[in-house]
């Protein structure tokens, strides 16, 4: 019996040896060690240590090539510089690029924490905090921001401008001065889903969780939106809002302005708002062009006056 087991062990060891011998070598990582580096060659890079770029009045790291992956590796890239007349981004991903990814660390300060202006780019697993203006600014096509924390931005947590096909997924976007997420400048067909968006707009006394200023075909669904100045503000037509949980808004939970006809608001749970849970600028919900269905709420307004509450009027 002992010889049989020894034989099996020998075969197992030989098998493992064969696997080791044929395994592909790990991808080499190029170290990023100083502020102001520009990455141009495709490949994987790693931030080798914490970097404080204060006083440089410039971007911390610029990505200027396709198919670059930057691992922050748990380190912090920081700057106390704040001058919106200058290009002071923590990580500046230039427009026209493809296949850029950033993951796994902290960006603190700068004008904007990350400028994601590429196509098919991804930011994941990062913390972006204390940006002077925007935590993450997104432009271009088919970019994604996921599993990240964006907080304490001087203006908005995530600003989406001139962007199409953006996905904002599974993030905590909280405590930003004006808005958690701002969709503007002809930003169409973007998805905001499964995020926690809390306590935005309190510092500035305006806006709140999410606002769509200019764009169509955008979908806002399945988000938890609590204790913002306003929950969701809709100023542009042709967008949909479904299955969001909005609570404790200082002013309004979800409100649709006259310029936003038609809008679709369905299946949301909106409660505990300081002024009103659901609001439509039109007394008739634009003769039914604005669709309000299957929402859970206590207070509503249409045309600036009560719409009668649940089960009455055009807000349902």
Give the tens place of pLDDT for each residue, 214-225. Answer: 999 999 999 999
What distance in Å separates the CA atoms of residue 313 and residue 291, rounded to the nearest whole number?
Answer: 12
Torsion of CA 161, 167, 172, 176, to 10 degrees: 10
What does the alpha-carbon distance between residue 300 and residue 81 come to, in Å, rounded to a whole number?
Answer: 44
The pLDDT of residue 28: 85
* Predicted local distance difference test score (pLDDT) of residue 27: 63
Distances (CA, A) of 51 to 91, 193, 277: 12, 33, 45
- Closest by alpha carbon to 124, among 134, 141, 136, 108? 136
Q: What is the pLDDT of residue 18?
A: 33
pLDDT category, 316, cuts 50, 70, 90? very high
What's residue 85's pLDDT? 94
**Mean pLDDT (the chain, rounded):** 92
Q: 136 pLDDT exceeds 50?
A: yes
The first and second tokens of residue 19, run together, are 């696997």
Domains of the chain: 36-306 (2.160.20.10)
Model confidence at 172: pLDDT above 70: yes
pLDDT at 1 over 70: no
Taking only the tens place, the pLDDT of each residue in 254-286 is: 999 999 999 999 999 999 999 999 999 999 999
SS3 category, 53? coil
- Comparing 6-20, 144-158, 264-278, the range with the smallest average pLDDT is 6-20
Residue with tokens 């649709």: 256
Percent of the chain's residues with pLDDT above 70: 91
How many C-beta neighbours within 10 Å does residue 18 have? Answer: 10
- Name the band, by pLDDT with cuts 50, 70 and 90, for residue 197: very high
Report residue 77's pLDDT band, with 50, 70 and 90 as the boundaries. Answer: very high
Q: Classify residue 307 by burial, with Cβ atoms within 10 Å: 0-12, 13-18, 19+.
A: buried
């Amino acid at each position: 019996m002992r010889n049989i087991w020894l034989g099996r062990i020998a075969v197992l060891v030989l098998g493992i040896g064969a696997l080791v011998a044929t395994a592909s070598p790990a991808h080499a990582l190029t170290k990023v060690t100083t502020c102001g580096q520009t990455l141009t060659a495709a490949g994987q890079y790693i931030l080798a240590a914490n970097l404080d770029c204060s006083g440089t009045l410039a971007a911390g790291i610029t990505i200027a090539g396709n198919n670059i992956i930057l691992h922050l590796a748990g380190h912090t890239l920081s700057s106390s510089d704040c001058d919106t007349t200058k290009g002071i981004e923590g990580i500046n991903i230039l427009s026209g690029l493809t296949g850029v990814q950033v993951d796994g660390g902290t960006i603190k300060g700068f004008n904007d924490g990350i400028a994601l202006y590429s196509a098919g780019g991804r930011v994941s697993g990062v913390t972006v905090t204390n940006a002077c203006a925007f935590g993450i600014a997104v432009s271009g096509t088919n970019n994604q921001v996921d599993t990240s924390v964006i907080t304490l931005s001087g203006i908005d947590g995530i600003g989406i401008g001139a962007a199409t096909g953006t996905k904002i997924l599974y993030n905590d976007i909280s405590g930003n001065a004006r808005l958690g997420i701002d969709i503007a400048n002809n930003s169409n067909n973007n998805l905001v889903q499964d995020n926690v968006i809390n306590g935005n707009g309190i510092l500035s006394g305006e806006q709140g969780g999410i606002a769509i200023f200019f764009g169509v075909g955008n979908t806002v669904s399945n988000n938890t939106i609590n204790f913002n100045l306003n929950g969701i503000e809709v100023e542009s037509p042709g967008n949909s809002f479904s299955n969001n949980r909005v609570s404790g808004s200082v002013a309004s939970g979800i409100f649709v302005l006259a310029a936003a006809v038609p809008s679709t608001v369905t299946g949301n749970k909106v409660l505990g708002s300081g002024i009103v849970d659901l609001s439509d600028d039109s007394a008739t919900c634009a003769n039914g062009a604005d669709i309000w269905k299957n929402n859970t709420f206590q207070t509503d307004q249409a045309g600036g006056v009560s719409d009668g509450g649940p089960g009455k009027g055009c807000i349902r």
